[in-house]
Amino acid sequence: MRDVIVFSGNAHRALARRICEQLGVPLSPADITRFSNDCLQVQLGSNCRQRDVYLVQPLVPPTQDHLMELLLMIDAARGASASQITAVIPHYAYARSDKKDASRISLGGRLVADLLVTAGVDRVLTMALHAPQVHGFFSVPVDHLTAIGVLADHFRGRDLSNHVVVSPDLGNAKTATQFARLLDLPVAAGNKQRLADDRVEIDSIVGDVAGKSAIVLDDEIATGGSMVGLLDKLGEAGCPSASVACTHGLFAGSAPQRLQGHPLVSEVVTTDTVPAPADWPQLRTRSVAGLFAEAIARIHIGESVSSLFDGVDPRHAPPQLSLQFADTASEQSVQGAPSVPSVLGGMLGGPAPLVGPDGTELRLADLEAAGPQLSQPVLVSADGDGPAVAASESASVSSAVTTAARR
C-alpha cells in the first residue's frame, strides 16, 4: 500500500500539524519562496514518488497567495510522480461565487475548481461549503465533511431546556434543523436580504424565540454584518442571550469587536478550519483535525468516508468508533484534560419542529438522512495562532499507514 505524505502551505500549518498528529505521520517540509518579481516557487521536501500526497491549505486571507501556493504544491507533487494528490481545503473561500446573480459576473467557484483540476489534483477534501452545489463544479471526487456534530458537542451536557437553534436565513435552515436534532431543540430562522457584501437586512424572525436563549448557527462569519443584524432582531423579539456558532470563523475586519460588543452574545464557538484570532475571551475553538485525519485514513485504504456520518442516534451516548485500521492501544489523552462521550460530525434525517409565533408547526422539506461519527474531545493548547482548542480524540488512526503497508 502506498505511503501517506502530508504537506502544508502557509495558510494554516497548525491545523496540518494536528492532522498529522492524529494520523501518526510527520508533516513533511515545503519550501515556499517569493522572488523579487513577486512570483512564488514551491519545493516539496520529501519523496512523493508513488505515494498518496495530501496538501493541507484552507483558502484564507491573503486568499490569492494561498490559492497560488496550493496550485504550485499540486504541480510540484504531480511532477514528483505522486500516485494520488488530494487537496485538503478545510475552507473553500470561492464557494460564495456559485451563481450568476448579476450581469457579466464571474463564477469564481467553478473557475477555482477548474484550476485545481488543471494543476493535477485527483481528489478534494473539504468542509461545510457555503453553497453545496459547488461540489458539482469539480470533475474529480470531492469528499464534503460537516462540523455540526463537533459544534453540537460543545453544547452537549448543558441544560438546554430553554434554548432554541436559530438560522441566520432560510437558506441555512436545513443545516440548522439537522444541528437542532443533535441537541433535541426547536428551530427558528431569520428572513434575510443581502444588500451588499458587508450589509444585510433581517426583516423578521420566523419561529418563537421570546424568553429563550438562542444558539445561532451559521456556516461562516466574515464581517459579522449578518450576525449582528440577526442578533438585533432576536433582541427585539425577546431573546435574552445568544451563543454564536459557526464552522469557519474568518472574523474579518472589525467582526470580533462587533460581536464582543453586542449585549446578547455570551460566547462565540467556531472550529479550527481557519486560524483563530487571539485575545478574544469569549471565543471557543473546537478542532476538526480528528475528523480530517479519519477521512484521510479512510481515503488512503479505500474505506467509505460517507459512512462516518451514518446511522447514529444523537439522543444516546454512543460507544467509541473502532475502525479496522485503528490502534486503540496507542491512544494518548492530554494530561489534565477532561474526556467525555461525544458525537463527532453528522446529520440526521427528519426535521425538528419549526414553530411559529402562533404555536403552529412549520415544516422544512426534503431533509436527507445521515448521522455523526463518534469521538471523544479533549482540550489541547493552540500552536501559537489562537486560543486553546478542543481537539477530537477519536479512535487513533496512527497505525493506518503501517497496517495498510502490511497488506
Residue indicated by cell numbers 460566547: 267
Q: With 0-12 CB in 10 A as exposed, 13-18 as middle and 19+ as buried, what is 398?
A: buried
Phi, psi angles (nearest 5°) of residue 42: -120, 135
Q: 16 phi and psi, to 5 degrees? A: -60, -40
Q: Report whether 309 contacts 370 (CB < 8 A).
A: yes
- Cα separation, 309 vs 149, whole angstroms: 9
Length of the chain: 407
What are the angstrom distances between the C-alpha of 310 and each of 152, 345, 346, 348, 369?
16, 10, 8, 8, 8
Q: Which residue has the cell 515545503?
A: 30
**Alpha helices for 240-284 (secondary structure H):** 255-260
Which residue among 100, 174, 192, 233 is the active-site one?
A: 192
**174 belongs to the catalytic site:** no
Q: CA 187, CA 179: separation in Å to the nearest integer?
A: 9
Find, among 206, 162, 257, the residue nearest to 360 by Cα.
Answer: 206
Kindly tell me the number of DSSP H helices and DSSP E strands found in the chain: 9, 20
298: left (phi over 0), alpha (psi -120 to 50) or beta: alpha
Among the listed residues 173, 237, 165, the one whose alpha carbon sits nearest the alpha carbon of residue 204: 237
**Active-site residues: which are they?**
192
